[in-house]
Amino acid sequence: MTTRLARPKMLRCPQHGRVAADRRRISHSVVDGDDTMTVDDVAAWVCPVCATVLAIPHGATGRIAAALQRRSSGAVQELRVPLDLEDLALGVNATLGTAGLGDAFTLPVHLGLQLVGDREAPLPSWQRFDAHKKEGRARPRLHPDIRARLEGLASLWQTDLSTVIRWLSVLAADAILAGLTTTASRVEDAAYGESSSSPSSSASTRPSCR
């Protein structure tokens, strides 16, 4: 069963060429190692003719990652993390409503793997906590196939497994929390009737803090 969510978006369907894709809630099949699992109520852009899934919005990856996390039955990986990074991981779980479903880093790791793709090198922004003192402790639970993918990235990036987990957690936090900040900013601008074309409106329309 699908539920239509928003205006159509122009995307290319392998069967029908360029189409006005519908954004709907669907039951989406996700490959988890050698198995396939179904995640319900995933937002997706689908072809209006054949219902082929054409794209999954970044905002939907949290639901998929949470489902993978709940299914995970792998071993715990212990590592040290900076407290500032732990704050970000907790923020991801709070934002997605998954707080209390296990270690705070399990979901960011899964989400980071969804976002990283086949990038050949980590971005400098993911490494910004590398020099921080690691006073916190993380214990993400990793399915063997997830661990294998992480070890593959560690080999590709010439680093260790713990570092890859920290970097992917930063990637996930940046993607989720930056999107939340952007949304909040747009809501604030709308509340004060601001737009990018009127930069001076901020001083004249916002209430004074004095």
Q: What is the pLDDT of residue 130?
A: 96
Q: What is the pLDDT of residue 72?
A: 59
Q: What is the pLDDT of residue 133?
A: 95
Q: What is the pLDDT of residue 4?
A: 52
Residue 15: closest CA among 64, 53, 41, 56: 53
Angle at the Cα of 125 from the Cα atoms of 121 and 129, rounded to 5 degrees: 110
The series of mean pLDDT values per 10 residues for the chain, 210 residues long, is: 62 90 86 71 90 82 70 79 94 79 84 85 95 94 86 94 96 80 46 45 43
- Distance CA(144)–CA(196), nearest Å, equals 48
Q: What is the pTM of this model?
A: 0.57
Tokens of 98: 């998954």
51: left (phi over 0), alpha (psi -120 to 50) or beta: left
- Distance CA(36)–CA(54), nearest Å, equals 19
Amino acid letter at 59? Answer: G
- Distance CA(18)–CA(65), nearest Å, equals 29
Residue 7 sits at φ, ψ, to 5 deg, of -60, 150
